[in-house]
Amino acid sequence: MPYGAQIKLAIASQTAAGSGNAVALPANVGSFHHMAVISEDVGLTKAEIISMNLTSRFEQGAVYDGIAQVNGTLSFEATPKALGLVLSLIAPEGTNKVTSGSLETYTFFPRTADNSATIAGEPFTVYKQYSDSNSAECYFDCQFSKLTLTYAQGQLLKSQATVGGGTRMINGVGSAGITLDTQDLGLGILWSVASVSWGGGAVGNMSDITVSLDEKIAPVYTLNGTLAPYKYTRTGFREVTISGNMLFDSRSVFNDFVAASQRQLLIYSEARRTQVQSGYYASLLIDIPQLKFTQLKPGANGPGEISVAFNGRGIIDPNSNYTVRFVLANTWAGY
């Protein structure tokens, strides 16, 4: 009987797109990073084509397989090592590393150009196995199309990474000895060690905030002799957005919304349970240099304290030339 508690899910970065660059198992098992997840549904989906011909009967016509695609979402508590793995694949540019003792600090920016003519994002291979199976599923040329990070009072930092494409290994793969990660155990990031800054001033009245990076990646199908996509492309502009709720005990942010002001948003958090070296913890900084609130409408709903839902959008900063930057510090030597 398979239990979700015993799933093995791992990801390995590819050097390039194409079946020849898939990370083969079990020979290259050491290239895979184990990821602990809350839930996942990465897999092969197939559309159905039903014949519309009228055949003198009430039953529907013949049924055929339609377009096929690998997709799904990984939901996980964002620990330092796992978060670095995902960021290195969805925001791989500028991944310069600064080493100070055992502390490794990475800076991640979204791509400024597509990876290749057939795949927009950074290609990687996904392996997953259920505990009582003698074989596993493996998908290559996967790419992340969207990442969300949610801070909420009373909770650990949670993340969702959307897989927006890939190809299934036709016959799956054999069971592989994935090394289970223990480095991140106990390194969850609590809401109580997260701080929010808007325009250089601390904001302490937010009860939750979600940051989303959406690359707008989707498959393109052609008459290429297969059910699989011909390539993956961008369907729109990259979007960096925020959403959340705040108590309406200050009008400063609301006044900026009315005035259409654009200011820098910074969210800083640490994994405080264990120091990575004396005086330092694993940490994450999210930097949106120019943010504009697009919705912030106070309203009363019952006798309790007023909480206001808000939305905002990252605007390209002409001075820094980016809409979002992630700075991650942990002890992992490289991705």
pLDDT tens column, 230-265: 999 999 999 999 999 999 988 989 999 999 999 999
Length of the chain: 335
- Residue 9 backbone zone (phi > 0: left; psi -120 to 50: alpha; other: beta): beta
Residues contacting residue 56 through CB under 8 Å, at least 6 positions apart: none
User: Pick from 208, 198, 216, 203: which is nearest to 293 by CA?
Assistant: 198
The b-or-e profile of 36-48 (16+ CB within 10 A means b, else e) is ebeebebbeeeee
Q: What is the CB neighbour count within 10 angstroms for residue 292? A: 17
Q: What angle do CA 230, 227, 91 make, to 5 degrees?
A: 45
DSSP 102: T
> What is the C-alpha separation between 178 and 295, in angstroms, rounded?
45
DSSP 59: S
| Helix/strand/coil for 185 | coil
When pLDDT is cut at 50, 70 and 90, the band that residue 172 belongs to is low
Q: What is the CB neighbour count within 10 angstroms for residue 328? A: 23
Q: Is the pLDDT of residue 36 over 90?
A: yes
Query: How does the average pLDDT of the chain come out, rounded?
Result: 91
Percent of the chain with pLDDT over 90: 71
Find the helix or strand (DSSP H, E) in which 257 lies.
helix 252-258
Q: Are 42 and 131 in contact (CB under 8 A)?
A: no
Q: Which amino acid is at 274?
A: T
When pLDDT is cut at 50, 70 and 90, the band that residue 66 belongs to is very high
| Helix/strand/coil for 5 | helix
The confidence score (pLDDT) of residue 139 equals: 93
Tell me phi and psi for residue 252, to 5 degrees: -65, -50
> What is the C-alpha separation between 63 and 48, in angstroms, rounded?
7
